[in-house]
Structure formats: structure tokens, C-alpha cells
A and B are shown apart, each in its own frame.
Chain A
Amino acid sequence: MIRRAAIVLAVALFGLVFANLAAHYAERQSLLPLAKRYVELVPRDLGAANVITGILLTYRAFDTLGEVAVLFMVAAGVGLVLAARGRRNESSPGEAPEPPRPASEIVQTGAQMLVPLIAIFAAYIIMNGHLSAGGGFQGGAVIASSVILLLLADPHRRLDLDFLSYTESVAGVLFVLVGVAGMIVAGGFLDNRVLPVGQFGAFFSAGAIPVLSILLGIKVGCELSVIIDRFRPELSTERGSQ
């Protein structure tokens, strides 16, 4: 009773604060000076048509590098928290978990049709980071969703975790190397002018931003696939990866 009253009171107080926020909100009529400067600088200096990707991968690229580090820590953390699970299940007697049942035919056929399409879509999103809405993070998440579909369609499939870890580490190292090259050749760390800026709106333009998008997409995709693979139950039968 007290708990329910306290919950209602907490939500009502939040609601009061939010109503105050919403009531005093007036739409802006023009951009803030910093935003206006970004919107002018990105197409002129970086040659990227997508201002947000230009900000994320050049002007605030250090934050993106920190984000990549956060993802890596999450993969390590989930592995640490769930690592003790397999050993405990073996040591404690009791009912063994049921082996995963093969997926039904509809899901298998659907996965066969959809996984190539999802992979093509993910590549399109990654490559379009500097031209239209898209980018490395978004494409990496779509790649991970195709991996989920693969795992759902074939529960006995083992992902090659060594290959995924190796690939994501190489992608991360290359990301930092491109940044260091920016320090040596161009203006600063992760400056995108190490590669020619090119013609505005062309496919190969905006300097190093497509390269950084690809590396980011590969790293995020591998990272999320490893995280998802950790959530699966321990497979008792040993079958090699395909």
C-alpha cells in the first residue's frame, strides 16, 4: 500500500517536472552558433554531405573512439558475467538443459532468403554514411541482426569466435592507425583529410570518412555478434563451425 502510494507520488512528481519542461518549450527559429558553424564547415572542408557523420567521424571522432572502447568493455563484461555459467552447470547435478531443437522449416527457409538481403542492406548503410543517412554504427547493428537470424535458424551452429575477435581487433587497430596518420599527414588526430576530399556528393569523397565507416561497421558488427553468442546456452555436442 505504501509502496503503491510512493510509486504514484514519484511518477506524479516526474510528470510535474516534465509538464513544466514541455510548457516552457518554444521552438527555435534559427540554429545555435555552434550548429551553424558545423553545418557550414562540414560540406566545405570535409566534403561530406551528411553533417552528422562528419561531426561523428571528424570533429568529435575522439568520442566515437571512446564509444568503440565502451562496446569492447561490454563484450568483455558480458563474457565475464556469463562465463561462470557453463562450469556451474556441469558441476551441479540436476536436470541437464534440453539440447536446442532445430528450427522449423519456415524459419530456415526465411533465413536462407533474408540473410543475403540483410547483409547487402547493411553494406549499403555503411557505405552511405557520408552521402545520406547511415554510418558505421547503424550498419554494424544490421550486420549483427543478420547474425542473430543465422543463429535462430540453425541453433547448432557454432560461430567462429576466434575469427570474430581477431577481425574486430584488427579493425580497431586500423581505426587508430588512420587517426595517427591524420596527426602526421593532415591537421590532427582522426582528421579525415589523409585521403583526398574529392568531389562533393561522389561515392569516393569525404576523405577518410568512408574508410572509417567501414572499419567502424566491421568492429561493431563483430562486437555485437560476440555479445549475442555469449547469451546462447552452452552446446553440449561438439560440432565444428561452418
Chain B
Amino acid sequence: MAELIGSFLVLAGAVFHFSAGLGMLRMPDAYTRMQAGTKASTLGNTLVLAGLAFYHPSWTLKLVILICFVLMTNPVSSHALARAAYRIRISMTPQTVVDALRDAPERIRGRS
């Protein structure tokens, strides 16, 4: 029974990873591609590791620590990449409606 739940979670994680890959192919510009890649693949990682915890219950603490590491590092690196892309003025797709960083106050934006 535990293996069934674990397999289901790993399968869900694999589906999210696949959607991350599909999003990176189909999205129109760099920023949306980064968003699709990071969010979906972080959730996919979390689900796969949680499913693995059901297969090997003795590894649960280590897997929880791993999930914390993934949650700490993946969004930070994607944020750094997106800010760098904005700074070297990579163009946004023409369907963009809001550019929150351009309208943000100076202390948040720094100089760019």
C-alpha cells in the first residue's frame, strides 16, 4: 500500500517535470521559460523525493532535508537569472501587459 502511494507521487513528479520541459519549449520569451522551468521542476523534485520517502521510510529525515535544500536553492538561482536577463535588456514578448520591475520604486530596483 505504501509503495502504491509512493509510486503515485513519483509519477506525479514525473508529470510535472515533463510539463516543465514542455513549457521551456513552448513559452514565447526568456522570462516565461524561466518561470515554467523553475516552478514546475521544483514541485516535480519535491514530489519525487516525497514518493521516495514512502519506498524507504528509514530515509524520511534525509529526504525532508533534501526537499528543504531544493526549495532554498532553486528559486534563488532562477531569481538571479531573471534579474540578470532583465538587466541586459532581453526583450519581453509583445503580449506582456505588466512590467512590475520597471514601475517598481527605486530602492527595490537598484540601478538597471
- The interface of chain A, by Cβ under 8 A from chain B, is 101-104, 106-107, 110, 113-114, 117, 152
Whether B33 sits at the interface, judged by CB under 8 Å, is no
B76 at interface (Cβ–Cβ under 8 A)? yes
Contact status B87-A106, CB under 8 Å: no
Complex CA gap A240/B73 in Å reads 29
Count residues on chain B whose CB falls below 8 Å from chain A CBs. 11
Do residues B83 and A104 form an inter-chain contact, with CB atoms below 8 A?
A: yes
The answer to whether residues A114 and B72 also contact, given A101-B87, A104-B83 and a CB cut-off of 8 A, is: yes
Q: Which residue of A101, A102, A107, A117 contacts B76 across the interface (Cβ within 8 Å)?
A: A107
A106 to B77, CA, bound (A): 10
Inter-chain residue pair count (beta carbon < 8 A): 26
- Nearest A-chain residue to B73, judged by Cβ: A114
> Closest approach, in angstroms, between the C-beta of B106 and any C-beta of chain A?
13
B110's contact among A104, A106, A113, A114, by CB below 8 Å, is which? Answer: A104
Contact of A103 among B72, B73, B80, B111 (CB under 8 A): B80
Q: Are B73 and A110 in contact (CB under 8 A)?
A: yes
Q: Quick check: is B112 within 8 A (CB to CB) of the other chain?
A: yes
Residues of B44-85 at the interface with A, using a CB-CB cut-off of 8 Å, are 69, 72-73, 76, 79-80, 83
Bound CA span A88–B112, Å? 26
Contact A101 B111 (CB under 8 A): yes
CA distance in complex: A107, B69 (Å) = 15
Binary contact track B22-46/A, C-beta < 8 Å → 1, others 0: 0000000000000000000000000
Contacts beyond the supplied A106-B76, A114-B76: 14 A-B pairs with Cβ under 8 Å: A101-B87, A101-B111, A101-B112, A103-B80, A104-B79, A104-B80, A104-B83, A104-B110, A106-B80, A107-B79, A110-B76, A114-B72, A114-B73, A152-B80
Q: How many Å lie between the Cα of A113 and that of B87 in the bound state?
A: 25
5 contacts between A and B (CB under 8 A): A101-B110, A107-B76, A107-B79, A107-B80, A110-B73
A107, B79: Cα distance in complex, Å: 8
Q: Complex Cα distance A103/B76, Å?
A: 12
Q: Are B80 and A102 in contact (CB under 8 A)?
A: no
> When chains A and B are docked, how far (Å) is the Cα of A180 from the Cα of B1?
59
